[in-house]
Structure 1
Amino acid sequence: MSRLAMLGGTPAVPAGSTDPAATDWPVVTEAEEAAVLRVLRSGRLTATAAGEPEIVALEREWAEYAGVAHCVAVGSGTAALQVALAAAGVRPGDRVVVPALTMNATAHAVRQCGAEPVFADIDPDTYTLDPTRVPEALTARTTALLPVHLHGLPADLDALRSAAPGLAVVEDAAQAHGASYRGRAAGALGLAGCFSLHPSKNLPTCGEGGLITTDSDEVHRAALALRNFGERPPVRTRSYIAHGPGGNARLGPVQAAFTRCQLERLPEQTKERDRVVGAFLGRLAELPGLRVPVVPADRTHAWHILRLRLVPAKLGLPGVAPAAVRRVLHRALRAEGVPLSQYQVAPLPAHPAFRPAGLSVDEIAERFPVAGATVDGTLCLQRRQLNPAAGPVLQAYARGFEKVWEHLPVIRDMVRAQPSDDWRRALAGEAR
């Protein structure tokens, strides 16, 4: 048995042993270079340039891909959320239900509308908004649900609608390009869907960008005005007359042209990513105490992030704090060359920017136990699996996991020497 790398042994995945081209993301080809050059040579460098074709084409192509009537391209995924919420009728003073575990942009977008994010805990299997916890977050001022398709797995939209009938549903699908729920694409499941085109996403651009999808003519018209200073779309030339609220949330033609090339390859890449990730997770599923992502039968997963849950009891550590197990395995696996991260370090309602007035961190921990347990007891692999050529690299990472699991007696001793604390420790460090 080889020695653990953290104790002086040779890493299972030594530096330089894998091909960086297999994990580079986004994959940039001559097609993207030619598309960007086409825009530069055209001289149409803004969304409002007369006759600009790239943004309109991207909107049409993404609407077709998602199976919706309309798409509005905007400057970022956060802008997509803010514009979509406003277009869906969210107004100052309203409340919007948000999952307790997600990137902070989800709640920021609600605040940008002048509304209040109200949090509900997540499902322990899917990590998405738990329909059974939504009713306790509802008040007379609640106007919308903002479920997040976290990591690329769609939330249970039918159950969420049943839990909050009559509310507008705006999907945060920033990580879910290509995923589906009961035969329909992410982004086609609510009143509006919101995607990010950040270079780290499954459908990237060369900078920042976002997409809004909807079947509603009214939401479409409102979103077009909101992204461009409240102006109506020009018939021939721009009027510069503001008919309502708005700002500048436009996407640039260079970014649109780049993403159109990426979109051509998205179906093939999604299929291949599903294959290589499945092979990787198949090996990890054999390791005791390591739970791989759950994908309900009615959904497909885009595999933007791979979150792995640690089960202390099955690791021979009953009663041990999950955070202690995570810290040791995090160090051990990274020493073996497996690039894992914690990703989120605290539930979103515990962030100082969003913590409800009068609630202590301890009370947040009591209200959102699943989100807290997920932060404490999981590790994430990000981006390395996005490139469809990453299969051999993922297999090398699987060897790293298997090596660490061969040394579980040593790992257990290290875990028992750890302090028994949780995510609140990290938040206290941020406060200092």
Structure 2
Amino acid sequence: MTERPHQLAMLGGPRAVPPETAVPRWPVITPEDEEAVARVLAGGRLTATAEGEEEVPGLEREWAAYTGTAHCAAVGSGTAALQLALAAIGVGPGDEVVVPSVSMNATALAVLQQGARPVFADIDPETYTLDPEAVRAVAGPRTKALLPVHLHGLPADMDALRAVADGLGAVVVEDAAQSHGASYRGRRTGALGTVGCFSMHPSKNLPTCGEGGLLTTDDPEIHERVLRLRQFGEDPRPRATRSYVSHTPGWNHRIGPLEAAFARSQLTRLDAYGARREPGIRAFLGRLAALPGLRVPVVPEGSVHAWHILRFRLDAPALGLAEQDAAALRRALHRALRAEGVPVSRYQEAPLPAHPAFAPYVPDGARFPVADAVLADSLCLQRRQLDPDSGPVLAAYADGFEKVWENLDLIRRMVRSAPAPRARREVAAA
């Protein structure tokens, strides 16, 4: 006799994840973090330009050593790092920068803010990172740089992308905002291109207590230009008194000592946290991989994933549905899983070329079929897995997935009765 499935929570059944389950913490704030911030407050050096301030240069030395790069500049945000990197390599009006069709909007906005044109390329269907062959198809004589994103914490195919860039005479700038601690063929992200750009937003694997960013490079001239641009175009060399003389147009993209001190403290535990979270994430993904029609993240040989975000693709035909049912399937599973206490989300609702801000730069007839498919048929888990002790909570989330999969007949009925959705570009502009 076949055992009846447990009633779904959205129909009145008990939640798979009990309401009293503790929400995973992130960032994890320790007494050492609090002491680091208190040290700055007690010392009274509250800006990066204060005489004798050592937290910002200390963070820069430590992150350069961690990534294996010669230089690091700490800046106000990950977006600031992208802006400074593009400015420092000379990107400007008339130039084109190839960016992936799926990323956070800051990746392409940094290009526009330099007066350059973002050129969108499709992504790989398994890694969700920039597809080297798609780059070849859209790059041209005006291509100044490639801007691969190590999306969700997985390094892009950097050997292939560097080969494309070398053939174009272009620079590779890494958007490594989500990939602290990740590596590719034995080298850390941030050391794989000419410049690497990281975010230290509190949601990131290396957080700070506000906003912050890090920019890495082995090129001393790029590093000096970044330091100049970071502070109003002033001479970055140490001197007894600040001149306030701008030698070139620049920004105020400095980070504060409080944020630097907090990040330094967090950095001492970055690898230990990564090692502690790995078993729980692997066990969680192992259970989900056994569910039909559900594709878990892959890690190519030679890469180390930082697990910043977990994305799961849904295979509608494998579940007895039509290919065009993918979005309706995602919506039905989103509703059912969240009712069970599994905090899945979409993360991105539309590819970058569909954003109204970028539409004027997309050629008529341009298509991004992989990006469209990935965002239509996938759900994400964010932040919860970053707590190094999240293993038990992830196990409860796996219970939720398994319970929903026991009720696939109901999910199929929901999908088949769902109204047709609006067009993607109409949704993006709404």
- Shorter-chain TM band: over 0.9
Distance 1:111 1:91 in 2: 9
Aligned-pair identity (%)? 65
Partner Cα distance (1:83, 1:207) in 2? 20
Shift of 1:318: 3.5
CA contact (8 A) 2:120 2:362 kept: no
- Residues 357, 210 of structure 1: CA spacing in aligned structure 2 closer, same or farther, 3 A cutoff? closer
Structure 1 portions without partners, runs of 5+: none
The 3-state SS of whatever aligns with 2:384 is coil
1:243 Cα deviation from its structure 2 partner:
1.8
The aligned residue for residue 3 of structure 1 is 7
Distance 1:409 1:274 in 2: 33
Q: Which residue of 2 aligns with 1:273?
A: 277
Q: What's 2:217 paired with?
A: 214
**Within the alignment, does 1:14 sit opposite 2:15 as a pair?**
no
Amino acid at match of 2:41: L
Aligned to 2:106: 105
Shift of 1:222: 0.6
Query: 1:59 maps to which residue?
Result: 60
Q: Give 1:274 deviation, angstroms.
A: 2.0
Q: Which residue of 1 aligns with 2:126?
A: 125
Match of 2:29 in 1: 28
The match for 1:323 is 327
- Distance of 1:430 and 1:408 partners within structure 2: 30
For the residues of structure 2 that align with 1:69 and 1:266, how far apart are their CA atoms? 20
Is 2:391 the counterpart of 1:391? yes
Q: Displacement, 1:151?
A: 0.2
Q: CA deviation at 1:92?
A: 2.2
Q: 2: CA distance between counterparts of 1:212 and 1:232?
A: 18
The question of whether the paired residues in 2 share the 8 Å contact of 1:274 and 1:302 is answered with no
Deviation string 1:357-416 (CA, Å, 9 cap, x unpaired) is 5856xx45xx10000001100000000000101000000000000000011111111111
Q: What is the deviation of 1:58?
A: 0.2
In structure 2, runs of 5+ residues without a counterpart are: none
Q: CA RMSD in A?
A: 1.3
**Pairing partner for 2:299 from 295, 301, 312:** 295
Count of residue pairs the alignment pairs up: 423
Residue 95 of structure 2: aligned partner? 94
Q: Is the 8 A contact 2:355 2:429 kept in 1?
A: no
- 1:217-248 superposed Cα distances (whole Å, 9 cap, x missing partner): 11110110010011122333222222222110
1:227 aligned onto 2:230: yes
1:174 paired residue among 173, 177, 199: 177
Range moving further from structure 2, 69-78 or 155-164? 155-164
* Whole-angstrom distance in 1 between the partners of 2:429 and 2:110: 24
Equivalent AA in structure 2 for residue 63 of structure 1: A
Aligned partners of 1:320 and 1:420 also within 8 Å: no
3-state secondary structure, aligned to 2:360: coil
Preserved CA contact (<8 Å) 1:82 1:110: yes
Amino acid at match of 1:164: A
Note if 1:308 corresponds to 2:312.
Answer: yes
Whether contact under 8 Å (2:69, 2:191) holds in the other structure is yes
Measure how far apart 1:420 and its partner are: 4.1
2:429 counterpart letter in structure 1: A
Alpha-carbon distance, 1:116 to partner: 1.1
Give 1:407's aligned residue: 407
Q: For structure 1, which segment, 270-279 or 306-315, has the greater mean C-alpha deviation from structure 2 after superposition?
A: 270-279
* Rounded Cα–Cα distance in structure 2 between residues aligned with 1:428 and 1:153: 31
Partner of 2:264: 260
Please tell me whether residue 192 in structure 1 is matched to residue 195 in structure 2: yes
Partner of 1:428: 426
Structure-to-structure mapping, 1:68-79, within 5 angstroms: 68-79=69-80
TM-score, length of structure 1 as denominator length? 0.95
Q: Structure 1 residues 358, 411: closer, same or farther in 2, change over 3 A?
A: closer
TM-score norm. by structure 2 comes to 0.96
Tell me the equivalent position of 1:355.
Answer: 359
Deviation at 1:8, TM superposition (A): 1.2
Post-superposition shift, 1:129? 0.2
Q: Aligned AA for 1:260?
A: R
Partner of 2:377: 377
